Structure 1
Amino acid sequence: MAFGYVNWTLIALVAPWTLVFLFFDIFACRTRLAASWERWDSLRQHYVDTFGMRTGCAVFSWALDLAMLIEPLVMTLNMSRRRKVQESLVFLCSAL
């Protein structure tokens, strides 16, 4: 029961996170979307400062990844501890 709540909470966080940062990326050049594919000069003129956006994306992504990594370890699933560690190692391989 608790596993379902935690899982759906993570899904509810990941879905909007994906959409929000996708739109931030698309509209980082404000209304001039083609500026992303033009010369460097046009990027400097039309692009907004994306350092804060990228930092927020990275921090939130790291927190969600950590939550997904820890979730199988702390939840009472019908698995042995060895199986839980193996599953977590599979998730950890994505860090490479």
Structure 2
Amino acid sequence: MQSFQDNTCIRFTPRSGQSDYIHIAKWGQGCSSYVGRAGGEQSLSLDNGCTDERTMLHELMHALGFFHEHTRSDRDDYLTINFGNIMT
């Protein structure tokens, strides 16, 4: 979180009664978060294998509304996928 605050205009503050907030905990297996504001409690799960800075920032970005680049609706305007190279 400090890395976000040091490099962006985003600031995290302790919850003080807000109805919408991010709750960071271990509540399942793996690393996960809803993408964008879900309303109410936004659970961000960080399992034991998810505690490196890169993974934590990745999940925080999901909670803030960032999608994976490869799922953008305009992806095919900028990428060429060679399906012959994909192993099934």
TM over 0.5: no
Q: Classify the TM-score, shorter chain.
A: under 0.3
Q: Which has the larger radius of gyration?
A: 1
Select the structure with the greater relative contact order (CA < 8 A; seq sep ≥ 6): 1
Bigger helix share: 1
Bigger strand share: 2
